[in-house]
Amino acid sequence: MYINVYGDIDMTRKAAHLREEIDIPEGVSVEVDNLLVKVSGPKGSLQRSFDYANGIIIKVEDRKVILETFFADREKKALLYTIASHIKNMITGVTKGWRYKLKIVTSHFPVNAKVVGNEILIENFLGERAPRRAKIVGDVKVRIEGKDIIVEGIDLEAVAQTAANIEMATRVKDKDRRVFVDGVYIYEKGVAI
């Protein structure tokens, strides 16, 4: 509820003050330098710059990350809660980590996948001679166990982008998807405990 200068209640106006608090769990340290947030925990450390967030104040007080803004319109309010979600994901990443699972689905040709350097090679996809390649983003670990590809890491964006790269590398454009279901598909994603 917002009250303007005339005392009328107006739901479309700006919020005078928004404040979001994020608890910092034991074993995790958060440092804020201007709009650069560094989160360290048992699994590693992450840092992210929010220098694009004009008008958002980020600070650490009493084992809590506090985000504040004044006179927020819809866009600034959305930005504040987006930054809060990013910081929560960073804290979850350094304490538990993130895991995506992909399944190799084949009905026509046997597909073989392997990790080479910072790429995943998917060989014999639809009988093609050249392997399809997917880039591994950041410090992400990729394991291949039978028909499963497991992508793990502490940075959610890097893990999700690597899984998306693998899925997109086996995209079939010119065939009927009901018949040619071959590909690599994400079937599970979440926290890697």
Q: List, in sequence order, every residue forming a beta bridge with 134; answer none if it has no partner.
A: 120
The model's pLDDT over 43-62, given as tens digits with 9 standing for 90+, comes to 999 999 999 988 899 999 98
Nearest-angstrom CA–CA distance, 37 and 93 = 14
> What single-letter DSSP state applies at residue 158?
H
Return the domain boundaries, the chain. 15-95, 98-191
**Which is nearest to 107 in space by CA: 181, 184, 165, 2?**
181
Higher pLDDT, 178 or 117: 117
Whether 98-191 and 15-95 are alike in CATH topology: the answer is: yes
Q: Report pLDDT for 13.
A: 66
Tell me, which fold does domain 98-191 have in CATH? Outer Surface Protein A; domain 3 (3.90.930)
| Longest CA–CA separation in the chain, Å | 73
Close Cβ partners of 128 (under 8 Å, ≥ 6 residues apart): none
**What confidence category does residue 145 fall into, taking pLDDT thresholds of 50, 70 and 90?**
very high
Q: What's domain 15-95's superfamily in CATH?
A: Ribosomal protein L6 (3.90.930.12)
Strand, helix or coil for residue 171: coil
**What confidence category does residue 173 fall into, taking pLDDT thresholds of 50, 70 and 90?**
confident
* Token output for 45: 């450390």
Mean pLDDT of the chain: 89
Residue with structure tokens 């990729």? 142
Strands (E), the chain: 15-23, 29-33, 36-41, 44-49, 57-61, 64-72, 98-105, 112-116, 119-123, 132-135, 141-145, 148-153, 183-191
Please state, for a pLDDT cut of 70, what percent of the chain lies above it.
93
State pTM to two decimals: 0.84
Strand, helix or coil for residue 154: coil
**Which is nearest to 162 in space by CA: 139, 146, 182?**
139
pLDDT > 70? residue 17:
yes
**What confidence category does residue 3 fall into, taking pLDDT thresholds of 50, 70 and 90?**
low
What are the CA-CA distances from residue 48 to residues 66, 132, 173 (Å)?
A: 16, 32, 36
**Which is nearest to 192 in space by CA: 87, 46, 65, 43?**
43
On whether the CB atoms of residues 113 and 184 are closer than 8 A, the answer is: yes
